[in-house]
A and B are shown apart, each in its own frame.
Chain A
Amino acid sequence: MNATALRKINIAEDFTRFPAGRFRSDGPFSGQRFREECLQPALEDSEVIEVELDGAAGFGSSFLDEAFGGLVRGNILKSTEVSKRMKLHASDESLITEILSYMK
């Protein structure tokens, strides 16, 4: 596998401006779908991923937990690898604080 060094994901542009819900059964733009279709493939292909959270019309905590926390719970990413492999960008610092709390 030729892994790229860095992959950028902009949630608003690459997924939806209106993320909502935890599971696929909750709606078309759920945290589960984002994790499975965007985050996981990016982590498989790249050493580091940068996730841009600005631009979306807000996030529910259930979305954040399932999307990001689900990576660690599902053993896609180890909690010890988070700081090395995932870079989060958001003008709202509380989003980053919350996401990292789900990935411990």
Chain B
Amino acid sequence: MANCSWIGQAVSWILIIVGWVIVDSQNNKRETRKEVRASLLDLYKHLDAIEDAAFLYHSTTGDASEARKITRDIQQIAPRIVMARRGRMRVNYAQPLAAFRKAVTYENFDSIGFVSKKPHDQMFESIEACKKNLIATLESAFNSAYP
């Protein structure tokens, strides 16, 4: 009889501990999901700011200091993605980020041949499309990791 009582207590403790581990794990996943989501939203604001800066740069005077700022801001995208994807999120950002960088800085950038673009220029549509594609890639990765 005493043996059965000991086993019963052990089973109860095991169930309590297992239950705690499961709940704790689920809580951690929820918190990680929230953190990743917050990081991504912050990154999207950063991308919007780059797009706005690119529009200003290409449609006005092509100021060298603005070009430097844009280049530096684009450089910060990859580290932000790496930080945001902590946990289970896997994302192949290389190609869409390369396309975004190219849309902003391949033509008419850091160039003595700079020409001020009209607001409806195809370049701005391309920048917007590449930004949206990068965001879509990140969102797809997020939804796969945190269904």
Contacts and interface: CB of A to CB of B under 8 A. Distances in A.
Nearest to B67: A20
A57 B111 contact: no
A21 interface: yes
Contacts of A61: 101-102, 104-106, 109
Interface string A58-96: 111111010000000000000000000000000111111
A85 B101 CA distance: 26
A32 B141 CA distance: 37
Interface residues of A, number: 25
A101 interface: yes
Interface string B34-50: 00000000000000000
B4 interface: no
Given A57-B68, A61-B105, A61-B106, A94 B97 contact: yes
Contacts of A26: 110-112
B121 interface: no
A25 interface: yes
Given A91-B78, A94-B94, A96-B94, A62 B71 contact: no
Given A94-B93, A94-B95, A94-B98, A60 B67 contact: yes
Given A57-B71, A57-B75, A94-B78, A62 B98 contact: no
B56 interface: no
B110 A62 contact: yes
A22 interface: yes
14 contacts: A58-B71, A58-B72, A58-B74, A60-B67, A60-B71, A60-B105, A62-B107, A93-B93, A93-B94, A94-B78, A94-B97, A94-B98, A96-B94, A98-B98
Interface of B: 64, 67-68, 71-75, 78-79, 82, 93-95, 97-98, 101-102, 104-107, 109-112
Interface of A: 18, 20-23, 25-27, 57-63, 65, 91-98, 101
